[in-house]
C-alpha cells in the first residue's frame, strides 16, 4: 500500500511515497527493521520507482521504503539557485535519515537513479556512518575518472554528456515545457532508453511535475551548479566502499551513459573490495522502469548480501 508523507530539512518540506502511514513512521515503536531510500533522477520524479516498490515490499515486508521528491521538485523545497549543489542536496538525505531514525540503530540502504545516484555517492562520501549499503542506477562512480581518460578512452561519453549545455540556459531547457506526444522530454527518454516502450501515463506524470511552478528552473539548476567555479567539493564524491558496499548498475543500451564507462569503472575498481559494477542487457538509462523485476531482484540480492 502506498502513502504520501512528508520529510523535512530545515524550512524545506519534501513529499514522499511511503509504504507506511506517516503516523506509523513517527510512532515511538517502529514496525520496520530497515530503511530503503529510493532517490530519483532527471528528467523524472519519485514515481520512477512505482514498479520497483512492490517487489521490494514483497522481499522486505518489514522495511520502511521511502521515495522522496528531490529538492526543488515542489514549491515547498525550492530555494536560491546556488543551493542545488550535490553537497547541499546530500544534507537533505542526511536530514531524512535522522528524521526517521533519530538513533541510528537500523540498517539504511540508498538506491539512486541518475542524479539520485550522484547524490547517493555524495551521501556515502561525507556521511558514511549513516549508510549501510547502496545501489546506483544509470550513473557509475565517475569520481575516480580524469579528463584524459574521457579524451583517450571514452571520448564518445563527452558527446553523450553534451546535453549538460542545454541545461545551462533557459532559452535551451525551456524545450522541456513542450506538451504533446513528440516533445523534447519524449526525445530524451527515447534517446536514453531506445528500447523502452513507456506509457503516456508515465511520461505525462513526469511532465506534470516538471511544469509545476519553479520546478524546471530548480531541477536544471543541478547541472548549472556543477559548473560553478567555487563548487570544487560538489564535483567530487570519494567513497570508501569498505564502509559503504555499493552495487553500480547500468544499462547496455543507455544513450546517456555508455557501456564503455562502466567497463572502465569495472577495470579501475577491480581490486576494490565491496563494490561491484554490472551492466544489464536490453535496457537503457531508465533501467528500473524498463525491467523493474530484474533491477529490483539485483537490489534485493545486494541488500541481503550486505545486511
Residues 91 and 3: beta-carbon distance below 8 Å = no
pLDDT digits (tens), the chain, 307 positions: 689 999 999 999 999 999 999 999 988 888 899 999 999 999 999 999 999 999 999 999 999 999 999 999 999 999 999 899 999 999 999 999 999 998 888 999 999 999 999 999 999 999 999 999 999 999 999 999 898 999 999 999 999 999 988 999 999 999 999 998 889 999 999 999 999 999 999 999 999 999 999 999 999 999 999 877 655 556 678 999 999 999 999 999 999 999 999 999 999 999 999 999 999 999 999 999 999 999 999 999 999 988 7
User: CATH number for the domain including 176?
Assistant: 3.40.50.1820
Q: What range defines the domain where residue 55 resides?
A: 3-305
Residues 70 and 49: beta-carbon distance below 8 Å = no
Q: Is 11 exposed, middle or buried (0-12, 13-18, 19+ CB in 10 A)?
A: exposed
Q: Is 303 exposed, middle or buried (0-12, 13-18, 19+ CB in 10 A)?
A: buried
CA 82 to chain centre: 20
Residues 241 and 276: beta-carbon distance below 8 Å = no
Give the per-residue pLDDT at 29.
83
CA distances from 123 to 147, 151, 198, 206 (A): 24, 28, 31, 25
d(CA 29, CA 6): 19
Helices (H), 236-281: 259-268
Instruction: Count Cα atoms within 13 angstroms, Cβ side, for 117.
Output: 21
> Which has the closest alpha carbon to 282: 259, 303, 298, 299?
259
Number of domains in the chain: 1
Give the per-residue pLDDT at 252.
97
| Angle subtended at Cα 83 by Cα 82 and Cα 86, rounded to the nearest 5 degrees | 105
d(CA 198, CA 272): 37
Instruction: Count Cα atoms within 13 angstroms, Cβ side, for 160.
Output: 19
209 membership: H or E segment, kind and range? helix 200-210
Spatial CB neighbours of 296, under 8 Å, sequence gap ≥ 6: 52, 55, 56, 59, 288
Amino acid at each position: 500500500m502506498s502513502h504520501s508523507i512528508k520529510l523535512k530539512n530545515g524550512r524545506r518540506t519534501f513529499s514522499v511515497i511511503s509504504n507506511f502511514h506517516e503516523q506509523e513512521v513517527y510512532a515511538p515503536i517502529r514496525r520496520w527493521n530497515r530503511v530503503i531510500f529510493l532517490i530519483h533522477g532527471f528528467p523524472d520524479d519519485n514515481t520512477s520507482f512505482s514498479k520497483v516498490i512492490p517487489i521490494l515490499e514483497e522481499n522486505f515486508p518489514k522495511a520502511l521504503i521511502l521515495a522522496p521528491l528531490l529538492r526543488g521538485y515542489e514549491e515547498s523545497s525550492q530555494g536560491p539557485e546556488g543551493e542545488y549543489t550535490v553537497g547541499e542536496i546530500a544534507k537533505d538525505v542526511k536530514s531524512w535519515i535522522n528524521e526517521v531514525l533519530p538513533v541510528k540503530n537500523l540498517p539504511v540502504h540508498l538506491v539512486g537513479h541518475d542524479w539520485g545516484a550522484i547524490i547517493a555517492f555524495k551521501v556515502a562520501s561525507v556521511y558514511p556512518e549513516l549508510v549501510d549499503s547502496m545501489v546506483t542506477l544509470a550513473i557509475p562512480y565517475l569520481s575516480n575518472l580524469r579528463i584524459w581518460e574521457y579524451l583517450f578512452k571514452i571520448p564518445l561519453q563527452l558527446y553523450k554528456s553534451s546535453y549538460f549545455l542545454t541545461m545551462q540556459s533557459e532559452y535551451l531547457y525551456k524545450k522541456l515545457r513542450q506538451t504533446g506526444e513528440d516533445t523534447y522530454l519524449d526525445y530524451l527518454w527515447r534517446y536514453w532508453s531506445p528500447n523502452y516502450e513507456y506509457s503516456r501515463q508515465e511520461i505525462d506524470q513526469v511532465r506534470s511535475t516538471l511544469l509545476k511552478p519553479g520546478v524546471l528552473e530548480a531541477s536544471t539548476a543541478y547541472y548549472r551548479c556543477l559548473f560553478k567555479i567555487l563548487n570544487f567539493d560538489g564535483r567530487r564524491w570519494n567513497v570508501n566502499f569498505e564502509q559503504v558496499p555499493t552495487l553500480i548498475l547500468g544499462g547496455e543500451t543507455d544513450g546517456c551513459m555508455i557501456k564503455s564507462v562502466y567497463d572502465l569503472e569495472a577495470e579501475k575498481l577491480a581490486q576494490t573490495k565491496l563494490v561491484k559494477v554490472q551492466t544489464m542487457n536490453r535496457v537503457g538509462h531508465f533501467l528500473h522502469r524498463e525491467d523493474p523485476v530484474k533491477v529490483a531482484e539485483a537490489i534485493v540480492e545486494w541488500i541481503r548480501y550486505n545486511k
